[in-house]
C-alpha cells in the first residue's frame, strides 16, 4: 500500500513539473525522459529537458532528500556539468523545507537552481534567451 501511495505521489509531482514547463515554454520544446551524455561518457536520464537556443537543453530532475537520491543526482549533475557547462541544470524537490541544509548545499554545487515544485517558476522563460 505504501509503495502505491509513493508511486502516486511521484506521478503527481511529475505531472506538476510537466505542467509548469509546458506553461512556460511551448509544448514541443519540453521533452520528458531525456538521455544526456556526461563528460565520463556515461549516459544519464533526466526527467525533463527543455530545448533552448543554440542546441542547448535545460535539464530538470526531480529528487528526494533520501541519501541515495541526493548522491546519484549529484553524480549525474556533476558529470553533465563537465560535459555541457552552459546547460542549465535544475533540481526539483517536492518540499524544500524537508531538506537538510547539508543536502541542499551538496546539490547546489552542481545545479543552476533548486526549485520547489510548489513554488512559482516565473523565471523559466528567461532561460531560453
pLDDT tens-digit map of 67-111: 999 999 999 999 999 999 999 999 999 989 889 999 999 999 999
User: Domain locations in the chain?
Assistant: 2-127
Q: Which bin fits 7, alpha (ψ -120 to 50), beta or left (φ > 0)?
A: alpha
Predicted structure pTM score? 0.90
Domain spanning 2-127: which CATH class is it, in words?
alpha beta
C-alpha 41/C-alpha 49 separation (Å) is 19
Amino acid at each position: 500500500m505504501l509503495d502505491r501511495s509513493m508511486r502516486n505521489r511521484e506521478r503527481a509531482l511529475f505531472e506538476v513539473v510537466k505542467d509548469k514547463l509546458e506553461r512556460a515554454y511551448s509544448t514541443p520544446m519540453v521533452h520528458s525522459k531525456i538521455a544526456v551524455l556526461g563528460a565520463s561518457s556515461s549516459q544519464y536520464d533526466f526527467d525533463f529537458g527543455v530545448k533552448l537556443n543554440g542546441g542547448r537543453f535545460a535539464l530538470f530532475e526531480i529528487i528526494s532528500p533520501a541519501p541515495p537520491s541526493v548522491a546519484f543526482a549529484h553524480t549525474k549533475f556533476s558529470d553533465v556539468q563537465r560535459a555541457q557547462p552552459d546547460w542549465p541544470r535544475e533540481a526539483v524537490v517536492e518540499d524544500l523545507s524537508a531538506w537538510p541544509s547539508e543536502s541542499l548545499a551538496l546539490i547546489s554545487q552542481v545545479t543552476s537552481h533548486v526549485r520547489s515544485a510548489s513554488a512559482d517558476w516565473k523565471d523559466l522563460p528567461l532561460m531560453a534567451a
